[in-house]
Amino acid sequence: MAAQKIVVAITGATGAIYGIRLLEALKECPDVETHLILSGWAEKTIALETNHSVEAVHKMASCSHDLLNMKAPVASGSFQVGGMAVIPCSMKTLAAIAHGLAENLIIRAADVMLKERKKLILVPRETPLSVIHIENMLAVTKAGACLVPPMPAFYNHPATIDDLVNHLVGRVMDQFGLSHNLSRRWCGINAP
């Protein structure tokens, strides 16, 4: 059985650890091949926010693609992939996806996901939201993308930042139908 290919794009929005942790989690899935794209600002954010080097993040992926390489396999609908996550997704990238402005490989690969009706998961990172942000979110949702904003859940009693990151990454993994043990699931409440 061929490996499921998943594109992981990390933009320059704060929260680079979400994309890094997703790569780590996907690496633990035996039948998943990851294709990584980093924006220029993602590289700066990784250095600013994490203890990971950009080179180490590239090594977490099965394959890395240059942001400006519009000849990469992920730029074509004929390249079979299971889907794509833009994690975190800057408002600039979200706006470009919403309006089909495929000026780089992240936006082109996202555009391919939409036109091929493949799973496109966007993890938008901004607060507060303007009307422009909300309208762009509505546009990508109408086009077929799934928005998974990094909103913490407290029913599982997170004790660390890792707990919060793992919960969000687990929700993204759920969207791809991939098994994981990243966080405790809601089991309901037993009323007295």
Would you list which residues are annotated within the binding site for FMN? 12-14, 39, 90-93, 125
Which residue(s) pair with 121 in the sheet? Answer: 85, 146
Which residue(s) pair with 153 in the sheet? Answer: none
Q: Tokens 């290919």 map to which residue? A: 5
Inter-residue contact 106 to 19 (CB < 8 Å):
no
Q: Tokens 């490989």 map to which residue? A: 105
Residues contacting 115, CB < 8 A, separation 6+ = 77
Binding annotation: 12-14, 39, 90-93, 125, 155, 171
Q: In angstroms, how far is the first alpha carbon of the chain from the final one?
A: 49
- CA-wise closest residue to 94 among 5, 9, 6, 7: 9
Inter-residue contact 64 to 36 (CB < 8 Å):
yes
Distances (CA, A) of 15 to 12, 49, 168: 8, 8, 11
- CA-wise closest residue to 159 among 123, 183, 180, 188: 183
Binding annotation for dimethylallyl phosphate: 155, 171
